[in-house]
């Protein structure tokens, strides 16, 4: 049985959970907060980061969310998520990297620091200038998702792919933190409602962080 080391608001662990759900692979969650990563965990992952997908019986340890997704892609036939021609697959991977790196650095990482880490660990108030900058950049990224969805059926092309799940994973964290603003982004909003309704998304909508409740609309698939 796979054990997925993660914490509820880690967008990369969310992407892996969505891929596991789509591929109908069973797993157990092991919660590990980055500020509690101890020496034993560093033995598992020298980078000291989640997600780590670990099977103690088969002694398989996988880390780095993209390496995990590529492994699942290569070993499980059900529901391919990096699919099509080599060019189409390159487009999926480009967009996964765009959400994992640019979106994360611009928006998810500063919001997690200001609203999760400062509240739960540092006992400080968020810096409103950082929140304002992240919210402004959120609109730029949502503009780009609008453009993609206006020109394609799904984020990376005509088929549902890992790019949709990478994007939805980041957005779900922003939504949990109460910072989602869909004003002027009808296309992105419609696409996200579809993503949120998928059975693979249901576990994410149930997971809560202690001391940091989500807004009521978070788990509402029609919101």
> Which residue, 93 or 115, is less far from a copy of itself as judged by CB?
93
CB atoms within 10 A of CB 16: 26
For residue 162, how many other CB atoms are within 10 A of its CB?
Answer: 29
- For helices 11-22 and 162-176, give the axis angle rounded to 10 degrees: 130
Q: Which helix (H) or strand (E) holds 2?
A: strand 2-6
Closest CA to 157 of 89, 55, 209: 89
- Judged by beta carbon, residue 33 or residue 144, the one nearer a copy of itself is 144
Binds a copy of itself by CB under 8 A, chosen from 26, 38, 46, 78:
46
The pair phi, psi for residue 157, each rounded to 5°, is: 155, -150
Q: Which is nearer to a copy of itself, 98 or 195 (CB)?
A: 98
Binding of a copy of itself by 102 (CB under 8 A): yes
Tell whether residue 71 is a contact of a copy of itself (CB under 8 A). yes
**Looking at beta carbons only, is 141 or 196 nearer to a copy of itself?**
141
Among 40, 78, 87, 222, binds a copy of itself (CB under 8 A): 87
Does residue 220 sit in helix, strand or coil?
Answer: coil
Using CB under 8 A as the criterion, which residues of the chain lie in contact with a copy of itself when the complex forms?
46-47, 60, 62-64, 66-68, 70-71, 74-75, 86-87, 89-90, 93-94, 97-98, 101-102, 144
């Amino acid at each position: 049985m796979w054990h997925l080391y993660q914490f509820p608001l880690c967008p990369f662990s969310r992407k892996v959970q969505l891929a596991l759900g789509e591929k109908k692979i069973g797993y157990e969650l092991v919660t590990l907060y980055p500020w509690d990563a101890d020496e034993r965990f560093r033995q598992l992952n020298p980078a000291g980061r989640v997600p780590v997908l670990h099977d103690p019986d088969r002694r398989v340890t996988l880390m780095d969310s993209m390496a995990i997704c590529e492994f699942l892609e290569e070993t499980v036939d059900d529901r391919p998520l990096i699919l099509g021609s080599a060019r189409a697959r390159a487009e999926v991977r480009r967009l996964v990297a765009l959400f994992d790196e640019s979106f994360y650095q611009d928006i998810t990482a500063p919001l997690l620091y200001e609203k999760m880490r400062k509240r739960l660990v540092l006992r400080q108030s968020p810096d409103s200038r950082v929140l304002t900058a992240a919210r402004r950049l959120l609109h730029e990224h949502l503009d780009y998702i609008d453009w993609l969805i206006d020109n394609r059926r799904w984020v990376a092309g005509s088929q549902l792919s890992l790019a949709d799940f990478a994007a939805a994973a980041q957005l779900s964290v922003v939504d949990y933190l109460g910072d989602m603003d869909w004003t002027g982004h009808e296309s992105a909003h419609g696409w996200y409602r579809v993503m949120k309704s998928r059975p693979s998304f249901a576990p994410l909508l149930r997971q809560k962080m202690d001391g940091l409740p989500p807004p009521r609309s978070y788990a509402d698939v029609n919101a």
